[in-house]
Amino acid sequence: MVSVARVLVGVTGGIAAYKACELIRLFVKRDHEVVPLVTPSAEDFVRAQTFFALARRSPSDDPYPHLERADLLVIAPATANTVAKLAHGLSDNLVTEAALAHRGPIVVAPSMSPRMWSHPATQANVELLRGRGVELVGPDEGDTGEGEWGVGRMSEPETIFARCLDLLGESETLRGKRVLVTAGGTREPLDAVRFLGNRSSGRMGVALAAEARKRGAEVTLVAANLAVPPPAGVELVETPTAGRAALRVRARSSRPRGSTSSSSTTCPATTSASTRRRTRSSSSGRTGSSESARRRKTRSPP
Ligand SMILES: Cc1cc2nc3c(=O)[nH]c(=O)nc-3n(C[C@H](O)[C@H](O)[C@H](O)COP(=O)(O)O)c2cc1C
């Protein structure tokens, strides 16, 4: 399983190019690193800048170092032209170059008119790709962009995304569930400088929280004095003492789905634990300030 995957998203010049925006958004929401690779024809449909903005990357980033180090290449939409080039090993743009340089799984989501899809040349190309282990998702039957009904419509981004997650060793089995994990060692102050604590690092709880998040759960991590950074994308509630941990756990067990409180933060993919701690103590209210003051007092062993 890959914790933060580097995913190359190839976009080619089909009418479904706009759907790649949603696909990129889904990967980013899951905290994966996305590198958009856009053919010149795709730019006739959606500007490359849109994909870069959604992927939170600068268009001036050099994509070449990523071509050989990615965990997954997904091409959506894949035109008949690009399917043919992939089948025959052509390499005349970033997408086709990536397909030759990349050694991991490749997902191709074709999108074309039913006539193009059913053409023997396209079908032969598709068979070549399948024979080489390339995963094809779709195309589906439906109304295509040109108003024709038949097989050729690109699968929905959610379907392509789900297949990609499977290939990355992730799944959506906890989607719609809320998971609460407690982690770390609480410290009970004896006086201003001493405390009773334990040696828990919080590593196991953090691993459990990360795994639940990967499987699509909404995760709250009630954390006491973690020795390891919390995972990205979880709601972090810092509770230095056992009493406060119990309070927070009770409060969250009865809370409606999706709500967060002022005493928690959601961990972004790029924020370090120390930055998070700084942000929390400066943004919390009176209770938070007295908590951090007490933590300052009780942090050092005698
Ligand atoms: C308006 C319009 C829509 C198109 N839609 C598709 C499409 O859905 N699928 C496809 O295979 N080609 C489609 N094409 C043709 C491709 O853009 C063309 O084959 C192009 O060379 C593809 O280049 P690329 O594969 O390098 O991106 C369309 C062309 C135009 C002008």
Q: What are phi and psi of 125, to 5 degrees?
A: -65, -40
Strand duo 195-196 + 188-189: pairing? antiparallel
Which residue puts its alpha carbon closest to atom 17 of ligand 1? 13
Beta carbons of 174 and 217 less than 8 angstroms apart: yes
| CB-defined site of ligand 1, < 6 Å | 12-15, 39, 41-42, 79-82, 93, 111-112, 116, 145
Better-predicted residue by pLDDT, 272 or 294: 294
Residue 271 forms beta bridges with which residues? none
List active site positions: 198
pTM beyond cutoff 0.85: no
| C-alpha distance across the termini of the chain, in Å | 42
User: What are the pLDDT digits (tens) for 204-225?
Assistant: 999 999 889 878 889 999 999 9
For residues 72 and 103, what is the distance between their CA atoms, to the nearest angstrom?
A: 9
Note the pLDDT tens digit of each residue in 119-176: 999 999 999 999 999 999 999 998 876 778 899 999 999 999 999 998 888 777 888 8
Q: What percent of the residues of the chain are helix, what percent strand, and what percent coil, each to the nearest 5?
A: 40, 20, 40
- CA 156, 157, 162, 163 torsion-angle sign: positive
